């Protein structure tokens, strides 16, 4: 076990994946902002409907939910449900000394499945696409958690 | 301080607890899917109401919130508010070299309190059950965070 | 690279920041509870409207959303979207051996920006205050993630 060091290629891969997923989540925040600005609506805080530099001409209904914005919020929520547990278990899985090849496939496969899930969700593809891609990521997450559980119980 | 190694029994216990909690959260996703399929409703994405292999005969109201599904979403949300901070602080607490006995009681006590909280919430037990079990977990979390804060400030 | 040890002052600073942010999130849960008790409303679980020790005299509308409570839930949600990715990337950023001065400015700057963001949100300050403070934190998060990505790719 080479552990939590950049010299361990599996841990370096975890760092790359973690950074990509955190950037992906940060991008969802900015995409929500962009879409709210573009339609001048979809805000949630009552004070955001007051006049000000960011809202020079308030109009009624600016606080109503709009699917153009809500879709990004749902994607962001789905990221929180999935990516954050992945970030929490991924490095523990690395500490179980998995086969490097298997580990790299699982780590990068997870990131890829989530990017494709994002594309399917953003473009409102039929439910089955989203469900299939989500399932791939969920099974990788469960596999890593079971490996970690087993290693911890045997220790 | 034996640190972040499977040879440290407190860290091994953290790995077991982290894996159990991640599996618990993943189970909430699957339980949401199961309940949506069972009642053929409670979806959130507009495209999920379109006809397709997963929804051969759409009916009106499939996108309306249903408490049978929303309850699992609330539990999942509560897990995100509680388990994810626990996962973030738990291993830092392990690095403060706590008494192994105290650490094991807190780690496994947290997992137990959350599983009982889940049971109380799923079966819609009176509010006081949920509140009491949530409080146990919250106090463990706060205790770990205060221990970590103190160790970091003294370093 | 001194790594994940209390002897590394940058990692000790990460521990302090992580503990403060976890305590901040736990405080949001308790603030939600406090506000629900104070107005005797704003609950979400149907069973919470039943009579019991915590709700001796139920009244209609106890399950309706009230902004006095919903504001704290929005703040809590915003914390989950922002603080949890910060907790996941912060220690990986520490492992990239950043300049200690830069690292301490980023870590403590992030905590400060989020506490001010909380104050601006709680007191319903104009949108621009919240947006500016949120942007500071988001740019710190993105900077840490890019540094981690680069270090992982070079390894």
Contact at 8 Å (CB) between B134 and B117? Answer: yes
Q: Is C86 helix (H, G, I), strand (E, B) or coil?
A: helix
3-state helix vs strand vs coil in chain A, percent to 5: 75, 0, 25
Option in A127, A141, A148 nearest B26 (CB): A141
Residue of A nearest to B6 (CA): A155
Taking Cα atoms as reference points, which of C24, C26, C39, C114 lies closest to residue C69?
Answer: C39
Question: At A54, is the pLDDT very low, low, confident or very high (cuts 50, 70, 90)?
Answer: confident
Cβ–Cβ gap C85/A16 under 8 Å: no
Contact at 8 Å (CB) between B20 and A146? Answer: no
Q: Is B98 helix (H, G, I), strand (E, B) or coil?
A: coil
d(CA C126, CA A37): 16
Q: What is the pTM of this model?
A: 0.97
Q: Could you tell me if the ipTM is greater than 0.90?
A: yes
Chain B positions touching C18 (Cβ under 8 A) are 88-89, 92, 148
Tell whether the model's pLDDT for residue B125 goes beyond 50. yes
Consecutive H or E run containing A18:
helix A9-39
* Residue recorded with tokens 């738990």: B90
Q: Is A133 exposed, middle or buried (0-12, 13-18, 19+ CB in 10 A)?
A: buried
Q: Give the pLDDT mean for B21-47.
A: 96
Tell whether the model's pLDDT for residue C25 goes beyond 80. yes
Q: Give the pLDDT mean for C77-98.
A: 98
Tell whether the model's pLDDT for residue A26 goes beyond 90. yes
* Chain B residues bordering chain C (beta-carbon distance below 8 Å): 1, 3-4, 67, 71, 74, 80-82, 84-85, 88-89, 92, 95-96, 121, 124-128, 130-131, 138, 141-142, 145-146, 148-149, 151-153, 155
Q: Around Cβ C150, how many Cβ atoms within 10 Å?
A: 14
Q: Around Cβ B145, how many Cβ atoms within 10 Å?
A: 25
Option in C7, C25, C50 nearest B126 (CB): C50
Q: How far is C84 from chain B (nearest CA, A)?
A: 7
What tens digit of pLDDT does each residue of A79-115 get? 999 999 999 999 999 999 999 999 999 999 999 999 9
Residues 6+ apart with CB under 8 A from C142: A23, A26
Contact at 8 Å (CB) between A105 and A14? Answer: no
């Amino acid at each position: 076990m080479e552990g939590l060091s950049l010299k361990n290629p599996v841990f370096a891969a975890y760092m790359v994946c973690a950074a990509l997923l955190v950037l992906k989540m940060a991008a969802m925040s900015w995409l929500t902002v962009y879409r709210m600005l573009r339609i001048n609506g979809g805000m949630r805080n009552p004070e955001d409907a007051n006049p000000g530099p960011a809202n020079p001409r308030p109009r009624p209904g600016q606080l109503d939910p709009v699917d153009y914005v809500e879709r990004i919020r749902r994607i962001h929520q789905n990221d929180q449900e999935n990516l954050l547990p992945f970030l929490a278990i991924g490095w523990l899985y690395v500490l179980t000394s998995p086969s490097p090849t298997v580990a790299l496939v699982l780590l990068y496969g997870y990131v890829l499945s989530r990017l494709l899930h994002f594309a399917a969700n953003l473009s409102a593809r039929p439910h089955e696409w989203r469900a299939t891609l989500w399932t791939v990521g969920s099974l990788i997450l469960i596999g890593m958690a079971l490996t970690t559980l087993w290693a911890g119980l045997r220790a």
